[in-house]
Amino acid sequence: MQATVGSRGAREAGFTLIELMVTIVIGAILISIAVPAYQSQIRKSRRTDAKNALLDLATREERYSSLNNAYTNDSASLGYGAGGFPQSVGSGYYTITVAPPTAAQVGVAAAFTATATPIGSQTNDTQCQALSIDSTGMQHATDSGGNNTTTTCWN
């Protein structure tokens, strides 16, 4: 038997406007929670690329120092090519620079500091605006306000 328009069977066959609106509201709430969490994870993965690049650069500096008794900020000497610093890393979300290294002096060891700075959309990572590593292996990080966030950013 077929239900006619206006009979009870026809009304139960579909969704009401209120049911659809409730579903849309629930979906919007879930999306508003999921999208920021997803973006945060993307920023963290890009930050990991920058940290790995800094650690690689520090290793290259130490290798160069063991052969030349000095550090350098010449990218070609470190095996990066003749492009010079800053070098783009992390699929173009960070640039790495090496400050002019200090030469060894009596009682003071030679030193270098390499810094990764976010560019493009990664600048929205206000928690970790600058990551750096120095010749002693010390890792540093600062947020957009210049506050020390080393524990948060390097772990």
Q: How much is the pLDDT for 3?
A: 54
For the segment 96-103, the average pLDDT, to the nearest whole number, is 88
What the block records as the tokens of 14 is 């579909």
Q: How much is the pLDDT for 47?
A: 92
Q: What are phi and psi of 122, to 5 degrees?
A: -70, -15
Domain ranges of the chain: 8-154
Q: How much is the pLDDT for 108?
A: 81
Query: pLDDT by residue (tens digit) across 21-49?
Result: 999 999 999 999 999 999 889 989 899 99
- What pTM, to 2 d.p., does this model score? 0.77
Q: What are the Cα distances from residue 44, in Å, to 5, 124, 148?
A: 56, 11, 17
SS3 30: helix
Other C-beta atoms within 10 Å of 133: how many? 23
